[in-house]
């Protein structure tokens, strides 16, 4: 009986503590506030935090990143369902028009980042610096 109880507790622990993320967040959290906003605030974030969002074919999306960095580094990239990276956000805004309606993953990469960030996106009109995927 003890063996089975131990196995159940071990499986529950693994399911609760390993949610598919490869990160360490200390003194805060990262969360999706609304359907079009990610927000993070913490004392330290190291690793990768990713979530999927649905983007529609032919719709242009404007992504805006605002971040407050006290130390460390924070970047992000987006990948398709096949885990192919198709853009890395280098500056604070980007326009993107998907060629197919599907779920894309937004990946935040922290390297001992201390501070906060907010990523906001909305459908928008087409721009010259737009990326099609």
The 3-state DSSP class for residue 133 equals: coil
Average pLDDT in the chain: 81
Say if pTM beats, i.e. exceeds, 0.75: no
Residue-wise pLDDT tens digits, 52-101: 899 999 999 989 999 999 999 998 888 888 888 877 776 788 888 888 89
The answer, yes or no, to whether residue 117 has pLDDT greater than 50, is: yes
For the chain, the maximum distance between any two Cα atoms, rounded to a whole number of angstroms, is: 66
Which of 35, 39, 56, 61 minimizes the C-alpha distance to 108? 39
Report all structural domains of the chain as residue ranges with CATH numbers, in order of start: 21-132 (2.60.120.380)
Q: What's the Cα-to-Cα distance from 66 to each of 20, 43, 119, 128, rounded to whole Å?
A: 25, 17, 7, 21
């Amino acid at each position: 009986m003890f063996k089975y109880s131990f196995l159940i507790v071990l499986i529950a622990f693994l399911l609760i503590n390993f949610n598919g993320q490869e990160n360490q967040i200390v003194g805060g959290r990262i969360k999706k506030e609304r359907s079009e906003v990610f927000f993070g605030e913490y004392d330290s974030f190291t690793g990768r935090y990713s979530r999927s969002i649905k983007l529609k074919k032919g719709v242009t999306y404007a992504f805006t990143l605002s971040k407050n960095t006290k130390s460390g580094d924070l970047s992000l990239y987006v990948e398709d369902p096949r885990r192919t990276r198709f853009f890395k956000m280098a500056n604070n805004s980007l326009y993107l028009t998907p060629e197919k309606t599907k779920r894309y993953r937004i990946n935040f990469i922290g390297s001992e980042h201390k501070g906060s960030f907010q990523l906001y996106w909305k459908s928008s009109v087409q721009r010259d610096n737009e990326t099609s995927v």
